[in-house]
Structure 1
Amino acid sequence: MSDVVITVRGEHEARIAPEQATVHLTLRAEGPERGAVVERISALSEPVRDDLISRKSAGNVAEWTSRRVSIWSERPWNNEGKRLAPVHYATVEFSATFTDFAALSWWVGDVAEREEVQLSHIDWRLTPETRAATERDVASAAVGVAVARATAYAEAIGLASVIPLEIADLGLLTRADAPESAPAAPMRLAKAFASDAVGSAGGGVQLQPEEIVVSAAVEARFAAR
């Protein structure tokens, strides 16, 4: 009796609490005089920069960045269709990656109360080491699911064992009866979001990120005997 070929899919996922949070904010100043606007944006940036330097030294912040100041001018129109005097604008963007979420909550609450500060969003993530280790574990577990599923199929038809012929990420398994499909993403890392708005005011913002979901799926082909 010739071998029976069994083709299956295996999936697995893991849910892990975020280890880092990167907050993004923009400082903005505007006014009729370019020089005054530049001075204002500099005055706004300095305490934020000093605070982040201090927090990095203390170990609450893993890293932070600040982009150069962007300056531009616009001439608005009034209700009568006439151009008014130029208005000058300046912005500078900051991002900071916190490892201490309690410190992050207090920092967000403090910064949100400052003038001309806009909090954009928070990215919750795992450290590179944890993400890589989790992806390996999840991929291995997905293969185990495929093996168990193929074994169950083989036993259902009275065969005793399965021998792997091909194992691949979704969309990469060769098919004898159809053209090869476009590769699909084998590993997914779902983002986690805070349950409260980052722009909330107060002495401390309660940030409650959801767990990060790492998932993997594989296709496998076995010979059953």
Structure 2
Amino acid sequence: MTDVTITVRGEHEARVAPEEAVAHLTVRAEGPERGPVVEQIAALAAPLREDLAARKDAGALVDWSSQRVSVWANRPWNNEGKQLALVHYASVEITATFSDFAVMSWWLTDVAERDGVQVDTVTWRLTPATSKATESEVAAQAVGVAVDRATAYAAALGLANLTPLEIADVGLLSRSSDSPAPAPKMMRAMAMSMDAGSAPAVELQPEDIVVTAAVEARFVAR
């Protein structure tokens, strides 16, 4: 039998418990005059910033950030189609990254009850070191799956000598110009959204981070 070219796809998936949680908050204020609104947003955001800075210094917080205050104004309309007086708005977004989920839960329960503070989402993630190691391991496992498939195909044809020719992420393997490339399957992480604005307590149920890898490989079997 002449040489046979075998092209296969290998996939692998791993589920890892999240190590960090990023809480996203928005502080809002509004009123008829710009000056008091700016002062109000500063008064609302200052205690949060001070608390987060103290937690970071004490080692109870991985990191935090706060954007500049955004200020704008518009003239709203009532139900009768009449344009009302000018209203000024101000907001600032704050993010805080925790490694202790219990501490974050208590903190969110507290800040969600404060005037002008809205808890938007909580995003779960791995540390950079764990993420890199997991991605490498999952990619290697995907290559192993591709090799096993190609070996099985070759054995079914009565061929025992398998030589790798090409391996690439999905969609990057060389192909004829008229062959459509499949959409790449990217590594992904699952996130949980929450709205704690009206809740007396915040319950967190983090889902595992799902890391996937897919490769295409081409072999020649003899």
Aligned to 1:221: 218
Taking a change above 3 Å as real, the CA distance of residues 149 and 102 of structure 1, as seen in their structure-2 partners, is: same
Aligned to 1:150: 150
Aligned to 1:128: 128
Partner-residue secondary structure (3-state), 1:15: strand
TM-score, normalised on structure 2? 0.91
- The answer to whether the 8 Å contact 2:62/2:99 transfers is yes
- 1:200: how far off? 5.3
Taking a change above 3 Å as real, the CA distance of residues 82 and 11 of structure 1, as seen in their structure-2 partners, is: closer
Number of aligned pairs? 222
Pair 1:179-2:159 in alignment: no
Aligned to 1:105: 105
TM-score, normalised on structure 1? 0.90
Taking a change above 3 Å as real, the CA distance of residues 54 and 186 of structure 1, as seen in their structure-2 partners, is: same
Taking a change above 3 Å as real, the CA distance of residues 200 and 81 of structure 1, as seen in their structure-2 partners, is: closer
Taking a change above 3 Å as real, the CA distance of residues 33 and 140 of structure 1, as seen in their structure-2 partners, is: same
- 1:8: how far off? 1.0
- 1:61: how far off? 1.7
Taking a change above 3 Å as real, the CA distance of residues 87 and 7 of structure 1, as seen in their structure-2 partners, is: same
- The answer to whether the 8 Å contact 2:122/2:191 transfers is no
Distance across 2 between alignment mates of 1:36 and 1:220: 64
Gaps of 5+ in 1: none
Partner-residue secondary structure (3-state), 2:68: coil
- 1:7: how far off? 1.2
Taking a change above 3 Å as real, the CA distance of residues 7 and 32 of structure 1, as seen in their structure-2 partners, is: same
- 1:197: how far off? 4.2
Gaps of 5+ in 2: none
Partner-residue secondary structure (3-state), 1:191: coil
Identity across the alignment (%): 64
Distance across 2 between alignment mates of 1:165 and 1:53: 54
Cα-Cα RMSD: 2.0
Distance across 2 between alignment mates of 1:15 and 1:7: 28
Distance across 2 between alignment mates of 1:98 and 1:200: 22
